[in-house]
Amino acid sequence: METTNFFRQIAQMDIKGDLNITIKQGSESNWIVSVLLNNEHCDDNAKNLIVPCTLRGTAEELDEDFFGTITSPLERASGLMVNMESYMKQLEEAKKHSAMENEKADKEKKEKEGKDKKFQEAMSKSTDLEKEKKYKESWTALPKITDFPDQAEAIRKRMSELEKFLAPSLFGE
């Protein structure tokens, strides 16, 4: 029996995945050979759109140029599926990162809303105490500027309004 180099030539191709080869005898002395590369690691369903490379010819014709005909298309298909696999992994990583960013933004938003609520509650309490003519308590109920630097102007204004009740001017107006 004669030695062939069929498997060595397959090993020399730069492909990743499973090579499915179907050989069928056609009419008269013709053969039909279908070669399909499948990469199970590629999760992109677009890989299913890649059609098999189908060759028809006599045994002599197929022996003569089988590898010359299938090598380039199989290497391109393999490269495409590897790129698709890499793309899908990067897409998943981007989704995770996006989810982390969304969680971070949601957390910051909740913290800001909580801080705004505390500020409004303190200002409201100060106003209520002023209505009851409890000016000293109204002053102490005001939020601290160090806790709410974004609201410093509103706090200072409120302090100025209360100062006239706490320390009236000696000279009058």
Instruction: Report the pLDDT value the prediction gives residue 1, as an integer from 0 to 100.
Output: 67
Query: Other C-beta atoms within 10 Å of 79: how many?
Result: 13
- Sheet architecture: strand order including 53-58: 18-25, 30-38, 53-58
Measured between alpha carbons, how far is 167 from 139 in angstroms, rounded to an integer? 12
The answer as to whether 25 is a domain residue is yes
Q: Is 129 helix (H, G, I), strand (E, B) or coil?
A: helix
The answer as to whether 56 is a domain residue is yes
Measured between alpha carbons, how far is 143 from 128 in angstroms, rounded to an integer? 14
The answer as to whether 112 is a domain residue is no
The answer as to whether 171 is a domain residue is no
The answer as to whether 124 is a domain residue is no
Contact in structure between 142 and 126 (CB atoms under 8 Å): yes
Instruction: Report the pLDDT value the prediction gives residue 101, as an integer from 0 to 100.
Output: 80
Q: What is the pLDDT along the chain (173 residues), one digit of tens a residue?
A: 677 888 999 999 989 999 999 999 998 889 999 999 999 988 888 888 899 999 999 999 999 989 999 999 999 999 999 999 898 889 888 887 787 888 888 889 999 899 989 999 999 999 998 899 888 888 889 999 888 888 889 999 988 888 887 776 656 55
Measured between alpha carbons, how far is 173 from 163 in angstroms, rounded to an integer? 14
The answer as to whether 67 is a domain residue is yes
For 153-164, letters b (16+ CB in 10 Å) and e give eebeebeeebee
What is the span of the domain harbouring residue 10?
A: 6-92
Instruction: Report the pLDDT value the prediction gives residue 61, as an integer from 0 to 100.
Output: 92
Contact in structure between 53 and 38 (CB atoms under 8 Å): no
Measured between alpha carbons, how far is 44 from 87 in angstroms, rounded to an integer? 9
The answer as to whether 104 is a domain residue is no
pTM for the predicted model, two decimal places: 0.52
* Domain count within the chain: 1
The answer as to whether 151 is a domain residue is no
